[in-house]
Structure 1
């Protein structure tokens, strides 16, 4: 099962996103403040920017693992190999004060808050318990996908190939000036 969080509302206190399960909208998410971290950054870069308990996890793709809590017996879904973070899980809660680096879910949202968190969490966990091999991708809603850039570069290469003489002449004229 592929989960995708698309962040769309950022304030100084929190980050709200939409959670999709296999391409279908599931619920809203709430994370700590987005400080523009990425899984492509080095651990040192992340540690330099991150504020413990007040920074959303880095954008990127992560495998999810299931662990059972020894204290209450509940199963939790943890994000694996998040640089600079430990114990990041999908969780219930309503405000940034409840996150501590985790992703909270809710059926509705207002600024800095998700609502009906337990309902959203139970519905999501029910779906996730029915399958194995989960991943989660964290991204900005307005970010342009990699496939867009691949297509754009491909088009530019084709156009350049067919009009290479004109392109070469253009740059020759440009350099003479």
Structure 2
């Protein structure tokens, strides 16, 4: 499975993008705002850098269920997910606005400025296929 997130809409409140699976549109994604070039990452306030990240599925103590986790997300001098310590990493989960995330990617089937809707539906459709793909072999997410 090849995942690609193309960031399309940038505001002071959020970043909205389109997630594709193997080249086919899957859903919209809401993240924290992308920071200006050269500005430091602010935990829980700015989006993760564009790049390529491995995706694993691990248990989240915060959400009390298995969720996707992006591995080796840089945040200054540390890397979230290096040791797969829960809740220090960037996850993919349901939610509607940047207020619902601390750097995570929120999926949704609808979008408005600074908002994705029908998030639980999007996650319910996406997660089983992702979980199967992760179990079968490496899954990478490219963020542009």
TM over 0.5: yes
Q: Give yes or no for contact 2:69–2:90 (8 Å, CA) kept in 1.
A: yes
Tell me the number of residue pairs that the alignment of Structure 1 and Structure 2 aligns: 130
Change (3 A) 1:9 1:71: closer
Of the three residues 44, 52, 70, the one matched with 1:79 is: 70
Q: Superposed, which structure 2 residues align to 1:107-126 within 5 Å?
A: 107-126=109-128
Q: Give yes or no for contact 2:73–2:89 (8 Å, CA) kept in 1.
A: no
Q: Secondary structure at the match of 1:131?
A: helix
Q: State the distance in 1 between where 2:63 and 2:44 align.
A: 23
Q: Give yes or no for contact 1:30–1:105 (8 Å, CA) kept in 2.
A: yes
Q: Shift of residue 72 of structure 1?
A: 5.6
What's the TM-score once normalised by structure 1's chain length?
0.69
Unaligned runs of 5+ in 1: 38-44, 140-177
Name the structure 2 match of 1:13: 13
Change (3 A) 1:124 1:34: same
Name the structure 2 match of 1:32: 32
Q: State the distance in 2 between where 1:12 and 1:36 align.
A: 11
- Larger deviation, residues 14-23 vs 28-37: 28-37
Of the three residues 67, 90, 96, the one matched with 2:58 is: 67
- Larger deviation, residues 73-82 vs 15-24: 73-82
Identify the structure with the greater helix proportion: 1
Q: State the distance in 2 between where 1:67 and 1:130 align.
A: 13
Structure of greater relative contact order (alpha carbons < 8 Å, 6+ residues apart): 2
TM superposition outliers: structure 1 runs of 4+ over 4 Å = 70-73
CA deviations on 1:77-114 (whole Å, 9 max, x unpaired) are: 10000111431010110011001000000001000000
Give the CA RMSD over aligned residues.
Answer: 1.6
Q: State the distance in 1 between where 2:124 and 2:61 align.
A: 19
